[in-house]
Amino acid sequence: MRKQIAAANWKMNLSLTEATTLAEQFLQEMTPAKNHQLIVFAVPFPYLTAIQQIVADTPQVFVAAQDCSAHAKGAYTGDTSVAMLQSIGVQYALVGHSERREYQLESNELLAQKVNQCLAAGITPIFCCGEPSNVREEEKQAGYVTHQLKESLFHLSADELQKVVIAYEPIWAIGTGKTATSEQAQDMHAHIREALQIQYGAEVAQSISILYGGSVKAANANEIFSRSDVDGGLVGGASLVATEFAAIAQALR
């Protein structure tokens, strides 16, 4: 069975005290994860070690970096290399979140380099893809997302791809209060899996966890996660409330 994943993206929020309190509250609220389920907290860089220490003794709970450098090392002030992340035990990293694509103008080619860096260091990239509102309005989302996959992931071998988690996040549903219907989410997840199957074969495509990201809440998580090709969620605002995120995690199949 594919891994079912509830990933929290705290973005640029919380003080250290607030972050540690939130992590502790979540652990108190959560139902123990099953062996095929993962809980991942993508936390601000300064808090990685602190949150990792809090969750270290809880099975199936991990931390993730919210980004990583496309370079191994060097004169890249402000960047954080995967070797640095690896040295503190981080096992996951977000790559290509829509906010970084938009605000930092990260290209598909740059994201391919970041994916390569993660895999070389044994870090699982959670690769984000998804369309803006104008593309959805023109009903061109399938081709748009396929292009993202081709330019950032399809250079990988089948073995390498199976070490990647994909997060589909319709940009028009991030922080807007709008949510793709469960049918829309399933349709796009099925399309992504079909694109993977065409490139890598059915066995590989069926092994990849694909998460939905876009205003996931406790109120809609059960319905969204029940869809056959949706393997969990990448959760933004709702992950900043311990009881809310615990309920979302409990909705995993």
Q: What is the pLDDT of residue 144?
A: 97
Confidence of residue 180 (pLDDT cuts 50, 70, 90): confident
Strand partners, 211: 167
Does the annotation mark 169 as catalytic? yes
Q: How far apart are CA 45 and CA 54, in angstroms?
A: 15
Residue 176 has pLDDT above 90, yes or no: no
**Residue 187: how many other CB atoms lie within 10 Å:** 16
Q: How far apart are CA 123 and CA 163, in angstroms?
A: 9
Residue 240, Cα to own-chain centre: how many angstroms?
Answer: 16
Q: What is the pLDDT of residue 214?
A: 85
Q: How far apart are CA 16 and CA 47, in angstroms?
A: 7
**Residue 13: how many other CB atoms lie within 10 Å:** 15
Amino acid identity for residue 81 in this structure: S
* Residues 6 or more apart whose Cβ sits within 8 Å of residue 100: 67, 106
Q: How far apart are CA 60 and CA 44, in angstroms?
A: 20
**For the segment 88-138, what is each residue's pLDDT rounded down to a tens digit?**
999 999 999 999 999 999 999 999 999 999 999 999 999 999 999 899 989
* Residues 6 or more apart whose Cβ sits within 8 Å of residue 174: 98, 99, 213, 214, 215, 236
Q: Tell me what the mean pLDDT of segment 138-158 comes to.
A: 97
99, 169, 189, 244: which one is catalytic? 169
Residue 84 has pLDDT above 80, yes or no: yes
pTM of structure = 0.97
**Smallest Cα–Cα separation from 154: which of 108, 212, 210?**
108
Does the annotation mark 109 as catalytic? no
97, 106, 131, 244: which one is catalytic? 97
Q: What is the CATH number of the domain that holds 187?
A: 3.20.20.70
**Smallest Cα–Cα separation from 125: which of 49, 203, 209?**
209
6: left (phi over 0), alpha (psi -120 to 50) or beta: beta
* Residues 6 or more apart whose Cβ sits within 8 Å of residue 183: none
Confidence of residue 41 (pLDDT cuts 50, 70, 90): very high
Radius of gyration of the chain (CA): 17
Q: Give the domain extent around 106.
A: 4-250
CB 23 within 8 A of CB 54: yes
How many domains are there within the chain?
1
CB 234 within 8 A of CB 9: yes
